[in-house]
A and B are shown apart, each in its own frame.
Chain A
Amino acid sequence: MTSVQPTELLSGRYQRAWTMAVLFLVAGWHLAGAGGQLLHNRQAYSSFAFQGAMWLLMALAIAAGSVMVLRGVPGWRAAWAVAIVGLAASTAAAAASPAGQMLAVNWAWGSAGWIGVLVLMRRRFTELGCFLAAEALATLGVQAWDGLNRTGLAGFLAVLAWSTGAQLAVAAGVRALDAAADQAAAAARSEHAALERAATAQIIQAARRTRWLALQESAAPLIAELAAGTADPGDARVRMRCALQAARLRRLLAEGDEVPGSLLHELHASADVAERRGLAVEIETAGPLPAVPRPARRVITDAAIAILTDARSHVRITLAAVAAGIAVSFVADVAAGTRLPTAEEGVTIHQQQDDGIFWAEARWNGR
């Protein structure tokens, strides 16, 4: 399943509303405008059945075009197929109309233009322009064939001006509304991202503050004990306590350049839990680290958690840039071998056990 950004849904919802509006306009025009004119003048046609068939054909073209535009922006083949069917039906209906009365009885011209608007409105504007020009030429051609006089030409130009004008205006309006919806969505998106960043920063800040407060409780007494001489630096347990506090302090200092969601960040979070049960964890990086995709990160952090759980007192984690990828390694005092996750998602895992010291390396070699 693909995840959809809420902002994309937002702009998609607006665009669908414009589509529905145009759809009702086109269908309403064909049904009431063109259909009404056809019925009103039914006596004038030499074959009302043929005119009716053309009307039905155009209604089908509108239905097909509606399905297409509701599914998204149609491809040029599909869009033009529907548009040409509409144009052909309209031209045939005009040709079959009685000569000289065309402006009065031709119901089809407007519908053909609206079909073009319906299927071409979200494609390049020149396509719609070409279509409307072709339609006007076809209608003019039919009139010329019938014998064009001055009154006929003037009427033609008047109808051309208002119908084509209205059609172009609707198409331009849809484009402008689409652009506005996109802008609104982009603004919402950047606001959403800013909020998310702020929230993440707050979480990190709070976590850091919690750790700082915890350090106040754990490191400060240790330093006091060392200063007072009640804790002996020669004692292995005191040294372990020092190492643990030092590691925590170091991490607190190193956290400045963390990127939320990065592998480093996740490893720090895993180490945090282990530290709470008294493990000394150090994390070091070498070189500019690449961004690792989430599935690969999961394999690596799973390995980290397995090792952090089995280690007795100390774990060193390093992240080094290698060739196109990253080598994340763990050196820990683990008595027996640790069960590591299966190497997958482009991550290879190697391990070696030497006298109570366990080494493992998870390597992701880029995509």
Chain B
Amino acid sequence: MERQVTVAIIEDHPVVTEGVASWIRSDSGQRVRLVHAAPDLTRLRAEPRPSADVVILDLELAGELVTTRIPELVAAGYRVVAFSGHSDPEIVMETLDNGAHAYVSKEEGRDHLVEAVLAAAADRPYVTRSQARAILADQHPARPVLSAQERQALLLWFQGMSKASVARRMSISENTVRQYISRARAKYAATGRTAVSKEALLARAIEDGVLKVGEVVQYNSFARGPADRSTLGAPGR
């Protein structure tokens, strides 16, 4: 068995923490272990080194949006999975831009939270339906260019089809569907503010053949100036 992924949960509603813990416990492979649960970030920030692989972060703590705290968590070496009742596309995009690996809405928790945590630990893209929705709704002028196939796969996934049904609808393999969706997500990691987690996600995407190096540079140049592009030359990090 592979090493368990350790996870911390920052959530100010005990009942939600309980729910998340129960989802983690009911994972048949026992692939995730909960090591820390707190209502705020104080203790996590005091740790000299990351005490968990992944942080499940409620975006609203004590009535305050904490999307701006994501960069420091990421810089400290955590992978962040946002878990929130706010499914407003603007907030989802801001969360991802700040370096969160994935966004899981509270409605999607049961089906997607554990999988998103595992994907984040492996630096692999994970796209929930609410994330697909935010990408489809994105109107920013500097947004990455998605191919027609990528958009179609995202649209059908957002609509609620299973990946197998999307594959049948598009007459492609399920693997190709995953590839399209992951590629769309990876393109977003190449835009906006730089973050260790985004570089790692990109590097992994290139390694996995989801994205080509040429595509990354192209999309990055779309969004940002040359200062950000230099960091993308080192996919091995």
Write the residues of chain A forming the contact surface with B, with a CB cutoff of 8 angstroms.
Answer: 246, 250, 282, 284, 286-288, 316, 318, 320-322, 327, 329, 331, 352, 354, 357, 359, 361
Contact = CB atoms under 8 A, between A and B. Distances in A.
A30 to B, nearest CB: 68
B65 interface: no
A130 B162 CA distance: 77
A361 B159 contact: yes
A329 B165 contact: no
A2 B51 CA distance: 72
Given A284-B133, A287-B137, A287-B139, A357 B159 contact: no
A320 B168 contact: no
14 contacts: A246-B107, A284-B133, A286-B133, A286-B134, A286-B136, A286-B158, A288-B137, A327-B155, A329-B159, A331-B161, A352-B165, A354-B162, A354-B165, A359-B169
Contacts of B164: 354
Contact of A359 (B134, B139, B165): B165
A316 B162 contact: no
B235 interface: no
B39 interface: no
A287 B133 CA distance: 8
Interface in B106-148: 107, 133-134, 136-137, 139
B89 A286 contact: yes
Contacts, number: 53
A354 B155 contact: no
B226 interface: no
A113 B139 CA distance: 64
Given A318-B158, A331-B160, A352 B168 contact: yes
A322 B155 contact: yes
Interface of B: 89, 107, 133-134, 136-137, 139, 155, 158-162, 164-165, 168-169
A331 to B, nearest CB: 4
A352 B169 contact: yes
Given A320-B155, A322-B155, A327-B155, A288 B160 contact: no
B136 A354 contact: no
Given A246-B107, A354-B165, A361-B159, 13 more contacts: A286-B89, A286-B136, A287-B136, A287-B139, A316-B159, A316-B160, A320-B159, A327-B159, A329-B159, A331-B161, A357-B165, A359-B159, A359-B169
Contacts of A287: 136-137, 139
The 6 closest A-B pairs by CB, nearest first: A331-B160, A329-B159, A316-B160, A287-B137, A286-B136, A286-B133
A354 B168 contact: yes
A361 B155 CA distance: 11
A322 B146 CA distance: 13
Contacts of B107: 246, 250, 282
Nearest to A314: B160
B173 to A, nearest CB: 15
